[in-house]
Amino acid sequence: MPELPEVETTVRVLRSKVLSRTFVDVWTDIKKFKKLGRKLKNKKINNIWRRGKNIIFELSGGFSFLVHQKMTGHFLYGNWDKKDRANSYIHLKLFLDNKKTLAFSDLRKFAKAEIWRTEDLKKELDLLGSDPLLKEFTFNKFKKIIKDKKGKIKQVLMNQGLIAGIGNIYSDEILWRAQVHPFSPAYKLKDKKLRKIYRHIKLVLRKAVKLKGTSVSDYRTPEGKKGRFGKMIKVYQREGRKCFRCNKKIKRTKMGSRSSYFCSYCQKI
């Protein structure tokens, strides 16, 4: 699933490509998107921004177009490598006034695409947690979020109502670097470990944004390219392989419906 770095990358690229453009037509073969055409037609894109894992196109007339890419969705602008399997599941095409097309590829068809009144959408998005890329996300704020939380630290990091944007990939990567076991009870963590987690939240997410995200599955940038953070992966999907820090084998276990990857030797509860 695209997480904060992938969504931030998409937003930054789209700002450079489609800002101030106008939607002139829409094509889709997905029933739930059929009403988008008449609502998007002749709407100008005034702004594009991110909140958590959501992409928001702020439009003329007081409306906004919200897209959550879910498991396998990603935008494609202009020409792309159609030989790449991940770019071939086009189920939504947004035609622009510059004769270009903003397409949406989504293998599993889980993506959410909705039209909102902008004022209502902003109120809805206010329910999401703190954005870890912002300066306002200080250590003291992070510590306050973690305080008294009874869940496991990985669950807390992935709780979108607390911290918006971190998912399965980056929670594993952050906790491996911080040497904290994903099953550690959040409320029991001392300041020393919390500071390490906080530091690596900032470092990992910023590095991933710089490298345009992680393409372990279907994610691609709007140019149709893979993100490069995959080369920096230390623990995610490395079950049975040697830990880069201690050479012990990486383990995988279930936390709810998700797999968690960690080193039981390096990452202590």
- pLDDT for 166-212, tens place per residue? 999 999 999 999 999 999 999 999 999 999 999 999 999 999 999 99
User: Angle 4-18/191-210 helices, nearest 10 degrees?
Assistant: 30
Where would I find the H helices in 60-147? 118-125, 139-146
* Contact between residue 251 and residue 263 where contact means Cβ atoms under 8 Å apart: yes
Task: Tell me, yes or no, if the two domains 4-125 and 139-262 fold the same way.
Answer: no
Q: Is the dihedral of CA 250, 261, 150, 132 positive or negative?
A: positive
Extents of the domains making up the chain: 4-125, 139-262
Which of 43, 53, 177, 212 does the annotation list as catalytic? 53
Identify the pLDDT of residue 110: 93
38-57 exposure pattern, b = at least 16 Cβ within 10 A, e = fewer:
eebeebebeebebbbbbbbb
Q: Is 206 a catalytic residue?
A: no
User: Where does the pLDDT of residue 88 fall: very low under 50, low under 70, confident under 90, or very high at 90 and above?
Assistant: confident
- Separation of first and last alpha carbons in the chain: 27
* Contact between residue 211 and residue 152 where contact means Cβ atoms under 8 Å apart: no
User: Where does the pLDDT of residue 84 fall: very low under 50, low under 70, confident under 90, or very high at 90 and above?
Assistant: confident
Which of 141, 202, 251, 258 does the annotation list as catalytic? 258
Identify the pLDDT of residue 99: 93
Cβ-defined contacts of 99-103 (< 8 Å, 24+): 100/17, 100/18, 100/21, 101/77, 102/14, 102/17, 102/18, 102/75, 102/76, 102/77, 103/75, 103/76, 103/77
Fold observed for domain 4-125 = N-terminal domain of MutM-like DNA repair proteins (3.20.190)
User: Where does the pLDDT of residue 131 fall: very low under 50, low under 70, confident under 90, or very high at 90 and above?
Assistant: very high
**Structural class in CATH, domain 139-262:** mainly alpha
Q: Is 53 a catalytic residue?
A: yes
Identify the pLDDT of residue 83: 60
User: Where does the pLDDT of residue 155 fall: very low under 50, low under 70, confident under 90, or very high at 90 and above?
Assistant: very high
Residue given tokens 């080369």 in the structure block: 231
Alpha-carbon distance 158 to 136, whole Å?
A: 19
Q: Is 177 a catalytic residue?
A: no
Which of 3, 6, 58, 173 does the annotation list as catalytic? 3
Q: What's the rounded mean pLDDT across residues 149-157?
A: 96
Which of the 8 DSSP states describes residue 33? G
User: Does pLDDT of 219 surpass 90?
Assistant: yes
Choice between 27 and 81, residue whose per-residue pLDDT is larger = 27
Q: What's the rounded mean pLDDT across residues 223-239?
A: 96
User: Does pLDDT of 81 surpass 90?
Assistant: no
Work out the mean pLDDT of the chain and round it to a whole number: 95
Q: Is 173 a catalytic residue?
A: no
User: Where does the pLDDT of residue 78 fall: very low under 50, low under 70, confident under 90, or very high at 90 and above?
Assistant: confident
